[in-house]
């Protein structure tokens, strides 16, 4: 408050407002947001004082980073659109990619088939399950087919590629075949966070925790040294929030995981100022609008502080909290499915105001099936509309200075830090996950949320309120063309016949030797094996034998 008389005016006005409010809403009560923070009807300078502007906010591109990680944010470069597209075979994927590249895309995303995630080749699983959710990439030849006519240099390639990172190995082998130097290869190992897979996305969880940790650190070291523009680390909060963690818990668990990864890399003798430049994050964006915005803003501030004070990095680059956001599929409903377009729009706005660097907007039919093409187009259009019709990229951090948003950002920060402290007390994220502490925390939150839905305390349009008889008809899902899958199976069998099986066997034995010797970079051996023709299934199979098969904790 600037002076005493202002202060008195403020207090008088607030008292008058309180009387009027209570008279009109005598039975009003405050709800708690998903993270458990009580939401009051009004926020004032008592909740956030603009005198703390420089301490709490400052300017984008510098400490304390609340307002964004770059000086120009979306005005300089809008977020990139990273849509997940499931296309069954490398040939089909390539056809789509060539169109996208011809239309000017500089970024592409590669989503493999579930069989690939599980570490199998297409000849190892029931053909019914092939290519239903993503592309069946098993070999360096498959990668080459995917990228036929697509330049690797200058293209930012996001690989959904869990440990042991076979897709990156295939990509690097493809670059070598084309004589593209590895320092021209850019992109992200989107699914490098094995801890989140162990906790909450078991499909991606291939190797035992200890083995996955070893391969992870080797892969970061290898990328830092040989593929310097590659982001080997994406710490994934999305899986945990999708599994039921509250937004504050998801942020806290993600930051705790990032600390664990940084500690592991430092323990290996790597330089935090170097490896932290290549850390990225991936978050869920729920429909709890202001809470999500506050989550991202608080997370950005906490991470930069952790980097400076705990991880010992000094550079500006290392403090940047680069993140991808995906709108939450958990909020979508099968009932009245077109309502999901409104939900995704709301979530996307929260992500944009939260300052994300890239975004995937869900298709409205994701709760009904794997997205159909028409629905996926609407999801992309949603981003275009928000950016170019609504001008949401025009002003940096436009909600800053709102008493509510700043107060909520501070409250979220407090909640997040409290959970991070709990994880630190449990011995860090690796231990907290291994022991099941995190899974239990998430399970409790998931059950609590479900109870709020079932009791009607949390409204869910079409589910527990505003239900309607009869359904809106939606496009039915087409399964992949069986003849294309058959053709692809033949391609794999030909590939296996034509390669030198002796050399492949030797390359797999090199993996075994590396597994036994911590001083050898095992990811370098994975790249070697990919180059000589070892398949995804063979590499994952050998490492599962030598480093242990990844079994999640089974608890319900």
Partner 1 sequence: MIEATPVLVAAPDFNKVLGRPARVLVTKIGLDGHDRGSRLVAGFLRDAGMDVIYTAPWQAIETVVRQAMEEDVDVIGISSLATDHLLVPQLMKALRVARMDDVSVVVGGIIPENEIGLLEDSGVDAVFHPGSSRDDIVGRIASLIIERRGGHISDHE
Q: How far is the CB of 356 from partner 1 (least distance, A)?
A: 23
For partner 1, which residue of 242, 257, 288, 393 counts as binding (CB under 8 A)? 242
Q: State how far the Cα of 457 lies from the Cα of 460, in Å rounded to an integer.
A: 9
Other beta carbons within 10 angstroms of residue 375's beta carbon come to: 21
For partner 1, which residue of 140, 173, 215, 243 counts as binding (CB under 8 A)? 243
C-alpha distances in Å from residue 163, one per residue of 195, 258, 523, 536, 550: 10, 16, 10, 11, 11
Q: Is 107 helix (H, G, I), strand (E, B) or coil?
A: strand
Cα dihedral 55, 56, 59, 65 in deg (nearest 10):
110
Extract the tokens encoding 518: 């911590």
Q: State how far the Cα of 286 lies from the Cα of 246, in Å rounded to an integer.
A: 10
Show contacts with partner 1 in window 120-139 (CB under 8 A). 120, 125-126, 128-129, 132-133
Q: State how far the Cα of 424 lies from the Cα of 69, in Å rounded to an integer.
A: 26
For partner 1, which residue of 81, 148, 339, 369 counts as binding (CB under 8 A)? 369
Q: Which residue, 103 or 128, is less far from partner 1 as judged by CB? A: 128
Residue 343, preceding peptide bond in cis (omega within 30° of 0): no
Q: Which residue, 467 or 493, is less far from partner 1 as judged by CB? A: 467
Over the window 436 to 475, marking each residue x when it contacts partner 1 by CB under 8 A and - when it does not, the resulting string is -------x--xx--xx-xx-----x-xxx--x-xxx--x-
Q: State how far the Cα of 87 lies from the Cα of 27, in Å rounded to an integer.
A: 54
- Interface segment toward partner 1; rule CB under 8 A; list 53-61, 110-118, 398-406, 502-510: 110-118
Over the window 183 to 222, marking each residue x when it contacts partner 1 by CB under 8 A and - when it does not, the resulting string is -----------------xxxxxx-----------------
Q: Is 457 helix (H, G, I), strand (E, B) or coil?
A: coil
Q: How far is the CB of 285 from partner 1 (least distance, A)?
A: 17
Q: How far is the CB of 124 from partner 1 (least distance, A)?
A: 11
Show contacts with partner 1 in window 296-335 (CB under 8 A). 330, 332-335
Q: State how far the Cα of 59 lies from the Cα of 79, in Å rounded to an integer.
A: 19
Q: Which residue, 200 or 352, is less far from partner 1 as judged by CB? A: 200
Q: Which residue, 477 or 505, is less far from partner 1 as judged by CB? A: 477
Q: How far is the CB of 376 from partner 1 (least distance, A)?
A: 15
* Contact flag: residue 415 with partner 1 (CB under 8 A): no
Residue 164, preceding peptide bond in cis (omega within 30° of 0): yes
H helix intervals, 189-281 = 194-200, 209-226, 238-242, 247-267, 272-275
Would you tell me which residues interact with partner 1 (CB under 8 A)?
A: 114-115, 117-118, 120, 125-126, 128-129, 132-133, 200-205, 242-244, 330, 332-335, 366-370, 443, 446-447, 450-451, 453-454, 460, 462-464, 467, 469-471, 474, 476-477, 551-552, 554-556
């Amino acid at each position: 408050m600037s002076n005493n008389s202002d202060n008195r005016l403020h207090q008088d006005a607030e008292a008058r407002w309180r009387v009027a409010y209570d008279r009109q809403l005598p039975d009003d009560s405050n709800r708690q947001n998903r993270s458990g923070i009580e939401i009051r009807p009004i926020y004032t300078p008592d909740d956030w004082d603009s005198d703390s502007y420089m301490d709490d906010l400052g300017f984008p591109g510098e400490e304390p980073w609340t307002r964004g990680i770059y000086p120009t944010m979306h005005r300089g470069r809008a977020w990139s659109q990273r849509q997940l597209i499931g296309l069954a075979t490398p040939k089909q994927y390539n056809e789509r990619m060539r169109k996208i590249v011809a239309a000017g895309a500089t970024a592409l995303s590669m989503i493999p088939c579930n069989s690939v995630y599980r570490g199998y080749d297409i000849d190892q699983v029931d053909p019914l399950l092939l290519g239903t959710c993503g592309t069946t990439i098993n070999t360096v030849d498959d990668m080459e087919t995917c990228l036929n006519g697509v330049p690797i240099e200058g293209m930012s390639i996001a690989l959904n590629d869990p440990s042991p990172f076979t897709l990156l190995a295939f990509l690097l082998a493809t670059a070598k075949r084309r004589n593209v130097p590895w320092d021209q290869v850019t992109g992200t190992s989107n699914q490098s966070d094995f801890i989140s897979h162990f906790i909450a996305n078991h499909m991606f969880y291939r190797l035992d925790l200890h083995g996955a940790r070893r391969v992870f650190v080797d892969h970061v070291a290898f990328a830092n040294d040989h593929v310097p523009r590659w982001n080997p680390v994406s710490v994934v909060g999305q899986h945990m929030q999708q599994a039921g963690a509250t937004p504050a818990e998801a942020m806290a668990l993600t930051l705790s995981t990032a600390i664990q990864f940084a500690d592991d890399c430092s323990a290996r003798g790597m330089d935090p100022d170097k490896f932290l430049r290549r850390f990225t994050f991936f978050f869920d964006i729920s429909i709890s609008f202001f809470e999500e915005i506050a989550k991202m803003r608080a997370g950005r501030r906490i991470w930069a502080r952790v980097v400076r004070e705990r991880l010992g990095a000094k550079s500006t680059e290392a403090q940047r909290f680069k993140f991808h956001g995906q709108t939450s599929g958990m909020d979508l409903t099968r009932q009245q499915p077109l309502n999901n377009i409104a939900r995704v729009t709301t979530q996307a706005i929260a992500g944009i105001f939260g300052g994300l660097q890239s975004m995937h907007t869900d298709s409205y039919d994701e709760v009904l099936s794997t997205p159909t093409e028409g629905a996926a187009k609407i999801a992309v259009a949603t981003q275009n509309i928000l950016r170019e019709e609504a001008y949401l990229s025009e002003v940096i951090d436009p909600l800053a200075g709102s008493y509510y948003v700043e107060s909520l950002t501070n409250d979220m920060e407090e909640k997040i830090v409290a959970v991070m402290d709990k994880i630190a007390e449990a011995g860090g994220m690796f231990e907290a996950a291994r022991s099941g502490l995190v899974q239990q925390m998430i399970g409790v939150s998931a059950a609590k949320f479900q109870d709020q839905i079932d009791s009607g305390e949390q409204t869910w349009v079409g589910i527990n309120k505003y239900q309607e008889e009869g359904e809106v008809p939606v496009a039915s899902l087409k399964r992949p063309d069986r003849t294309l899958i058959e053709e692809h199976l033949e391609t794999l069998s030909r590939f296996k016949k034509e390669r030198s099986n002796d050399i492949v066997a030797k390359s797999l034995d090199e993996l075994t030797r590396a597994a036994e010797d911590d001083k050898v970079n095992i990811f370098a051996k994975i790249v070697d094996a990919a180059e000589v023709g070892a398949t995804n299934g063979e590499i994952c199979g050998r490492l599962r034998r030598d480093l242990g098969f990844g079994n999640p904790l089974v608890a319900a």
